[in-house]
Amino acid sequence: MPALFVTGMQRSGTTLLDKLLANHPQISLLSQPFPLLFVEVKRRFLALLGEAEARYPLGDLFLETRYGAADLHRFLAGLALDAADLRAVFAGMAGYSGQYTRFTPERLAAALETLAPGDLAAVLAQLYRSLAQEPTAGWYGGKEALGEELLPFLLDRGFRALVIVRDPRDVLASLNHGRGPEHAGRLKPTLFNVRNWRKSAAFVLHLEDHPNFFWLRYEDLVARPREVLERISSFLAIEPFAAELLAGPLRDQEGRLWPGNSSHGERFGIETASVSRYREILPPEVARYVEAACWPELRCFGYEVDLAWEAVPEVIRGFADPYEGARPELKGCAAGAAGELRRCELLRGDGGSEVQPYFLFDDVCHRLREVLPA
């Protein structure tokens, strides 16, 4: 069964991408239909490791010492989910604002009645098909934010996957200002968000040569939508997207006019107004810190960098986070300057076995070293 998974960092354009994809007659793509399923699966895994109450189970993964990628893969491969598990998940999502696509009780009951127990990939594929809004599509899938850690497993199970990346400074401007908290919850420390963005970047760099994987930049999608959509249609081996799709307002999966979910006002079509908006919105010291903390990734993904590499440690050491106090439970994250400085040192040298916890994958560290000045 052709199955499709779309993910990325919050406020990176994942919802815009899912609306565009869902407007193709050969794609049925649900928008965040079961976000708490992914949270529940990860919590079950962490419970086996002794983490009874994981507050943010879909974390940034950096400096994770409890498990490795192979451990999670084995767990997911051996996981058995059934209709009772799914009923509990959907009951937990009643009233949850993070679930965008919702289903009538009758439709959900019919889908779960025919669900064959299986691992996460098998269950997702069945649900994407049975709950599809376009029953004659060729591809069935869903979009969920922050699902990068599941990509290797889903790709191994035959899924196609797309990840969208956006300038992290614009991501922070969208998360922390305007209507951002309505979409992503209360403000979080800057380093917490930076590391989640770097997680997304690391998985893109690690998986970009996988034949079932496709990634794109938000900035390219809004500036050259026709070109990017042509690449996606080629990746999925489907007919080109209709030219009229880009001529006016977008419609959502229910056929209604979609006003966008920008943090800074309604937008009924594709436009570039949000690109580099951080220059007007984000405090300059925050923008400078994000540039320092993401310096090699920004270079890898073709984003503008004004800060010299040699100045990065000084910026990291001197940063006072204006968003630090918003979440007391995350206060420790704001004190991560030592880890960030160690990361800079590892980029300059070998590091051996210490590299992986700071970069998730050895090959990602090697890629980032290539963009450093000689």
336 confidence band (pLDDT: 50, 70, 90)? confident
Tell me what pLDDT residue 8 has.
98
Query: Are the C-beta atoms of 89 and 37 separated by less than 8 Å?
Result: yes
Tell me what pLDDT residue 374 has.
87
Tell me what pLDDT residue 55 has.
81
> What is the arithmetic mean of pLDDT over 343-369?
92
User: CB atoms < 10 A from the CB of 153, how many?
Assistant: 20
DSSP assignment of 73-87 equals HHHHHH--B-HHHHH
Q: Give the neighbor-by-neighbor strand order of the sheet with 139-143.
A: 27-31, 139-143, 3-7, 160-165, 213-217
pLDDT digit string (tens) for 231-279? 999 999 999 999 999 888 899 998 899 988 876 666 767 989 999 999 9
**Rounded-to-integer distance, Cα 2 and Cα 296, Å:** 35
Tell me what pLDDT residue 333 has.
63
**Rounded-to-integer distance, Cα 121 and Cα 76, Å:** 9
DSSP assignment of 351-373 equals -GGGHHHHHSSHHHHHHHHTTS-
Backbone φ/ψ region at 63: left (φ over 0), alpha (ψ -120 to 50), beta: left
183 confidence band (pLDDT: 50, 70, 90)? confident
Side chain identity, residue 81: L
Query: Are the C-beta atoms of 163 and 148 separated by less than 8 Å?
Result: yes
pLDDT digit string (tens) for 281-298? 999 999 999 999 999 999
103 confidence band (pLDDT: 50, 70, 90)? very high
180 confidence band (pLDDT: 50, 70, 90)? confident
Predicted model pTM: 0.96
Q: How many CA atoms lie within 13 A of 215 on its CB side?
A: 21
> What is the arithmetic mean of pLDDT over 43-71?
91
Query: Are the C-beta atoms of 316 and 337 separated by less than 8 Å?
Result: yes
CB within 8 A of 264, min separation 6: which ones? 174, 177, 178, 179, 274, 277, 281
In the predicted structure, residue 1 carries a pLDDT above the cut 70? no
42 confidence band (pLDDT: 50, 70, 90)? very high
List the beta bridge partners of residue 141: 4, 29
**Rounded-to-integer distance, Cα 171 and Cα 186, Å:** 15
Tell me what pLDDT residue 186 has.
83
> What is the arithmetic mean of pLDDT over 294-321?
97
Tell me what pLDDT residue 332 has.
61
Residue with the larger pLDDT of the pair 373 and 52: 373
Tell me what pLDDT residue 198 has.
98
Share of the chain above pLDDT 90, in %: 81
What CA–CA distances, in Å, run from 108 to 18, 34, 124?
21, 12, 14
Share of the chain above pLDDT 70, in %: 97
Tell me what pLDDT residue 335 has.
55
* 343-347 contacts, C-beta under 8 A, 24 or more apart: 344/312, 344/313, 344/316, 347/296, 347/372
* 246-253 contacts, C-beta under 8 A, 24 or more apart: 246/270, 250/16, 250/19, 250/20, 250/23, 251/19, 251/23, 252/19, 252/22, 252/31, 253/19, 253/22, 253/29, 253/30, 253/31, 253/101, 253/133
Q: Which of 30-34, 342-346, 353-357 has the lowest mean pLDDT?
A: 353-357
* CA of residue 175 relative to chain centroid, distance: 14
Residue with the larger pLDDT of the pair 370 and 247: 370
